[in-house]
Structure formats: C-alpha cells, structure tokens
Amino acid sequence: MGETSDDRRRTALWVHAHPRRGSLNGRLFDVGTTALAPHYDVTSSDLYEQRFDPVLREDDLGSLAGDPGNMGDLLAGAYEAGELPSDIRAEQDKLAAADLLVLQFPLWWYGPPAILKGWFDRVITGGFAFGDVDPESGIPVRYGDGRFAGRRALVVVTAGEDARTLGPRGISGDLDSLLFPLTHGVLWYIGIEAVDLHVIFDADDIDGAGVDREAERLRERLRHVDAEPTRPFRRLRDGEYRGTRALRHDLAPGRTDLGIHRADVA
C-alpha cells in the first residue's frame, strides 16, 4: 500500500459492532486494526465498548427539537447550526477524516446489529454527508457523488450459515442482495465505493484453528485492499435513471433484481 500522491498519511476508520470482545469478531477487530496500522492512521469506533446510543431522538435536534418538518431536514439544520450532540459530532469527525472505512459486524436477522443501523441513522446526516443539488442539472449530488466520493469501504461480516445457504439460490437469500441496503443505500448514496464483501461463513461452528485461518485471511485481504476494484454501481448523474429514478427500460430489460444497478450490466 503506497502513500497518496501528496504523501499525506491516510486514515482508516474501523467501526466494530459486536458486544463481546472475546468473540471471533473481537479477534478479527484486533487483527484488522493492527494489520492496517503500518499503512494508515487507524481510528476506531467500537460501538458496544463505547456504549454508543443508536436511538435517534428528538433531543438530537438541539434548538430545532419540537419544530415541524421532516426529521432528516431538521437533523441537517442541527448539523449546520453546530447543535448535534457531542457523540454524533465525534463520530462525524472520525468518518470525515477516513480515506478507508471498515464496517465489521455479525449478520443478525439478515442484516447488521441495531447498534450499527443506529450509527447510520444518527451519524450520516444531511448537511454533513449529503444534501447538495447540482445547480445545472437539478440532480441531487448522491449515489456515487458528494462529499465522500473517492473514499473506499470494506465490509467484514461473520455469518452462521454456509456460502451456499447465503448464495444466489440459498434459502436465506444472496448475501450481496441482503447487504445492498448497506453497500448501495448507505455507502454509495454518499459516494463511498465498497469493495467485495469479506465474509466469514459458518462462524458459529468455527474452532481455534479456523479462527487462526480467518485471522490470516483478513490480514492478507488488508494487504491488498487498496488495489482491489470497487463495485461498479451506476451513478445517478449519468442519466440512466429518469423521472422517478427507476432505471431506464432499455437497460437490463426484463430484469428486476438488484444487480441491474451495476454499471457493468447492459
């Protein structure tokens, strides 16, 4: 992993969402943050350890609490006024500084734990992460553009089931599709480009030797993560979504799966 063109030391933010530090996830958190340290200034948000409050509340709005209007718009107003709570501002500062974002969590009920969803709800606010509109086209600066365009993300997820069960024909559904709300609906929405998921399957039954193998596999992945291609999602500004922001009929005709939102699908 080389330095950026201006020789600036890069920063990584590792967000960890598992309640037990003695777990497989705890081991991978320690291994991963250590593996990145030679190449990045690594900051972390260990959400359970720091007792992060995932519940978006009226009090988060500062002086706008009680005002009528859309909650998202009011949060943006609180951000612009510098009135967001200190715990939100601290997380926003870490995210704003990060060239690489790592999100690590166990798959619970087909998605991330509630504490990580709450981190998105409270931290990724309008004004801070999105909200601008291109003055010429009138198109919102989202889905591939915006403040976080050019940043990268790696999602590390442990799953109790095997790869076939969480595959394209698996009874639990394809994991890429299950996490589309994260990779596309959260990350790509604010311009962050995700590389392929890093998945630990059969995590419930893993033994000591398996933990060691997964630790080394994560180290090896992190050695090369900067060179990996990111998911080629379609950009909103490229004219492939019109009107209601549904994909044009001539693109991926007859298909309704989430894969149509990749730019490499004709």
Task: Enumerate residue ranges in the chain where pLDDT < 50.
Answer: 1-5
Taking the mean position of all CA atoms in its chain, how far away is CA 266?
26
- Residue 111 burial (C-beta neighbours within 10 Å; 0-12, 13-18, 19+): middle
* pLDDT (0 to 100) of residue 135: 87
- Looking at residue 192, which CATH number applies to its domain? 3.40.50.360
Write phi, then psi, for 154 (nearest 5 degrees): -125, 130
pLDDT of amino acid 3: 44
Residue 1 has a pLDDT of 44
- Per-residue pLDDT of 11-49, as tens digits, reads 999 999 999 989 999 999 999 999 999 999 999 999 999
> 155 with 182: CB under 8 angstroms?
yes
For residues 251 and 146, state if they share a domain: no
133 in the same domain as 54: yes
The answer to whether residue 86 sits within a structural domain is: yes
Sequence-distant (6+) residues with CB within 8 A of 153 are 100, 101, 102, 103, 183, 187, 192, 193, 194, 195
Residue 1 covered by a domain: no
Does 38 share its domain with 82? yes
195 and 249 share one domain: no
Tell me, yes or no, whether 218 and 263 share the same domain.
Answer: no
pLDDT number for residue 248: 93
**Which residues, in sequence order, are bridge partners of residue 42?**
12
Helix extents (H) in the chain: 24-36, 71-80, 86-97, 114-123, 175-178, 180-182, 208-224
User: What integer pLDDT is reported at residue 214 of this predicted model?
Assistant: 97
User: Residue 100 pairs with which residues in a beta bridge?
Assistant: 12, 152
Q: What is the pLDDT of residues 69-96, one digit of tens each?
A: 999 999 999 999 999 999 999 999 999 9
4 within some domain = no
| Shared domain check, 128 and 98 | yes
Same domain, 213 and 239: no
Look at residue 88 and tell me if it is in a domain: yes
Please give the residue range of the domain that contains residue 55. Answer: 11-233
Q: Are residues 135 and 208 in the same domain?
A: yes
Q: Is residue 74 part of a domain?
A: yes
Query: In 3D, which of 232, 223, 242, 218 has the Cα closest to residue 263?
Result: 232
Residue 92 is assigned to a structural domain of this protein: yes
Domain co-membership, 155 together with 266: no
- β-strand partners of 152: 100, 193
